[in-house]
Structure 1
Amino acid sequence: MDISLLLSTTDRAAPLAAPSVMHPESWQLCAQVESWARGRGLVLGDPDTSPLGRARCERLAARVFPDAELGAVDLFARWLTWALALSDTLDHPPLADSGSAVHGLYDDLLRAMRRGHARPGARPLEAALVELWPATSRAMSRDWRRRFMLHLEAHRDGCAEEAVNRRIGHTPEPAEYAPLRRRACGPFLFDLIEPVLGVELSPRLLRTPDWKTLADSVADVVAWANDLASHDLESGRGDVHNLPAVLAAAHGVDIARAGDMVVEHIEDRLEAAWKAARRLPDMLDRLQLTVAQRAAAAQVVKVLLDTPRAHLDWLAESGRYESQGTPSSIRLDALASLR
């Protein structure tokens, strides 16, 4: 299974047809984000020797936010780097099959956020988090900060459930997998759209069914596209927490057919996201939101709808899911076609 399966969706799904736009000052981000990650101990040694070092998080940030202020894009890229470093820690021993260990790590992280500083000798994840949090949250409301914390806790719970599944050898059913994957894929990252843009969404809007459909659909598309890209590496270590493996087990099909089914699922969720977005103007009228609240919603919706193609383009140029060594010809060919 390779990136070409994902690239085929650009011909079949209209929302993915146009390549994403890159921030005009993206060239500055690479050195800044790499220096920060090294300085915080998240990336050690030659970046090409680790999945996190090869990820090129700044490229994804620059594609998701091509028009935002550079400092805000840099902050988002740092959060992406931190989130992937956390994911790498949670997906490998000794935390990969221990729900209690996942909760223990997260207890340390959440306490550090509330305390405002890392413990002496704390792991790099904790030290980096207490630097990122105040820089992100200082201009945001109490409601936003609470929402972000709740999504961190949802991520903790999702990753702990995955760890238990690995320990007992349980492959989730498709209906069980979708909400689990949504939690384990870093839902807090979508909250960061608001501080990057310098806006905040109305809590009333966030509670509407159409907004939930839009947000969940985009999250699913990103998660499932990531599942296709990471399947070979994850299956190599016996991890069944990706959609191709889940569908293959549930429907008794081979992995190639399961990959085609994932693409079909992605197309369906893209359609659901766009339908929900088209219903939002009427919802905004019914909620009687202010001009500023409507403008904030419009900005966030645009980023959400642009994110699946930005993520797809990043998957084509990132080396995160490759084995150490020379990048594959498939990825290089895909990247050349996207420029």
Structure 2
Amino acid sequence: MPQDVRFDLPFRTPVSQHLEYAREQHLRWVRDMGLVRSQAGYEEYQSWDLPQAAIRTYPHASADDMVVLMNWFSLAFLFDDQFDSGSPDGADRIAEVARELIVTPLRPTGTRPRVICPITVAWAEVWEQLADGMSLTWRTRFAASWGRFLAAHSEEVDLAARGTVLGLDDYTAFRRRTVGIHHSIDAGERSRRFEVPAQAQAHPVMIGLRDAAADTIGFMNDIHSFEREKRRGDGHNLITVLHRERGYSWEEATDEAFLMTSERLRDYLRLESEVPQLCDELGLSADDRDRVRMGVEAVQHWINGNYEWALTTGRYAAAKEGPAATAELQGRGSLDDLLPV
């Protein structure tokens, strides 16, 4: 089954020791903020085990920062599950909330949201904590990455509502935006309290490296989440696109998706090997080179950490029963409505 598909990653990454403390604080926060309200919703959310994803993708965060990062994780995943992808009304609602989430980092921290619902109120709080101590350059970069992700997410809802399907080339370019990896890598800098030098961040090698990582993670995610998305009738999945466009069987489409993922991983590794030359070309100091090294490690943490989590999370489980299964069959992934009426 697709969730069981394994990849041979050429690196291993550390795991944080702050799981129990941070998870307890995080789960209490999720309930207190009204992000998960019903008992069935809470049990489904727990099965996703997002704290495991956080401790693997941000292994060097302090205990308190790990709580902040877990809280942030919940917003993106719960927001993704808030709509019936075939409903025009759902598309309008998701766009309204997405606009509010996009502009939050552009306002002074502590500003009350103009669109009030559990997601927007929680994000205003989390952003104030994430932005603390980071430069304007980092905050602007994060906001741009976050905004592109949310805009693409709203576009995906609109495409589904209009019944529009994407071809393979358009889909792969679109997936790079919807996977949300660029701002997630940016958050890796916040998790260790450092920033990649701006001139290195803007270099073509680093840009290509981040894009290759986004494709690798996005394609892996499509493979591991395929059964869930097929169950929901979601056509925005690499396996589904290959099946539809090339007439592959589901097995053939899965095999081709695996090959495409492996190719992008090789591209990433090639670009990673060029990073020392990038540092030489820019004449970086020893301190700046160290920050570039940690920036590359942040990417590795995401490739491997997300992969390890995806193999076991209940979010992608092939078989669902009870209220969660009913919600997915109705086109929703969440049991609790968190968006304004």
| TM-score band w.r.t. shorter chain | 0.7 to 0.9
Kept in 2: contact 1:21–1:66 (CA 8 A): yes
Task: Quickly say closer, same or farther: Cα 1:316–1:160, change in 2 above 3 A.
Answer: same
Structure 1: distance between partners of 2:174 and 2:138: 23
Q: Deviations over 1:15-67 (max 9, x none)?
A: 26x5x543223222221111111111112233666653322111111112333
Unaligned residue ranges in structure 1 (runs of 5+): 326-339
Greater relative contact order (CA < 8 Å, ≥ 6 in sequence) = 2
Structure 2: distance between partners of 1:119 and 1:73: 24
Structure 2: distance between partners of 1:96 and 1:172: 22
CA offset at residue 80 of structure 1? 0.9
- Report the TM-score, using the length of structure 1 for normalisation: 0.86
Partner of 1:331: none
Structure 2: distance between partners of 1:250 and 1:277: 32
Partner of 2:70: 77
> Which of these residues, 168, 179, 185, is aligned with residue 173 of structure 2?
179
Partner of 1:272: 267
Partner of 1:29: 22
Partner of 2:245: 250
CA offset at residue 276 of structure 1? 0.6
Partner of 2:335: none
Q: Aligned letter for 1:215?
A: R
Name the stretch that deviates more: 186-195 or 110-119.
110-119
SS at 1:157's partner residue?
helix
Structure 1: distance between partners of 2:83 and 2:202: 30
> Which of these residues, 126, 129, 132, is aligned with residue 132 of structure 1?
126
RMSD across aligned positions (CA)? 2.5
Task: Quickly say closer, same or farther: Cα 1:15–1:46, change in 2 above 3 A.
Answer: farther
Q: Aligned letter for 1:242?
A: N
> Which of these residues, 133, 136, 145, is aligned with residue 142 of structure 1?
136
Partner of 1:332: none
Structure 2: distance between partners of 1:161 and 1:119: 22
Structure 2: distance between partners of 1:38 and 1:136: 20
> Which of these residues, 199, 210, 213, is aligned with residue 194 of structure 2?
199
SS at 1:15's partner residue?
coil
Name the stretch that deviates more: 223-232 or 83-92.
83-92
Is residue 98 of structure 2 the alignment partner of residue 103 of structure 1? no
CA offset at residue 96 of structure 1? 8.2
Partner of 2:2: 2
Structure 1: distance between partners of 2:210 and 2:273: 13
**Aligned length, in residue pairs:** 319
SS at 2:17's partner residue?
coil
Structure 1: distance between partners of 2:53 and 2:176: 19
Name the stretch that deviates more: 278-287 or 180-189.
180-189
Task: Quickly say closer, same or farther: Cα 1:31–1:167, change in 2 above 3 A.
Answer: same
SS at 1:89's partner residue?
coil
Structure 2: distance between partners of 1:180 and 1:291: 37
Kept in 2: contact 1:47–1:53 (CA 8 A): no
Is residue 51 of structure 2 the alignment partner of residue 67 of structure 1? no
Name the stretch that deviates more: 155-164 or 240-249.
155-164
Structure 2: distance between partners of 1:76 and 1:32: 11
CA offset at residue 207 of structure 1? 1.7
Pairing 1:10-25 to 2, within 5 Å after superposition: 13-15=8-10, 18=12, 20-25=13-18
- Report the TM-score, using the length of structure 2 for normalisation: 0.85
Kept in 2: contact 1:97–1:166 (CA 8 A): no
Q: Aligned letter for 2:193?
A: G
Task: Quickly say closer, same or farther: Cα 1:175–1:50, change in 2 above 3 A.
Answer: farther
Structure 1: distance between partners of 2:307 and 2:243: 23
Kept in 1: contact 2:50–2:70 (CA 8 A): yes
Structure 1: distance between partners of 2:187 and 2:208: 19
Structure 2: distance between partners of 1:44 and 1:24: 29
Name the stretch that deviates more: 231-240 or 281-290.
231-240
Structure 1: distance between partners of 2:200 and 2:313: 34
Task: Quickly say closer, same or farther: Cα 1:312–1:14, change in 2 above 3 A.
Answer: closer
CA offset at residue 301 of structure 1? 0.6
Is residue 37 of structure 2 the alignment partner of residue 44 of structure 1? yes
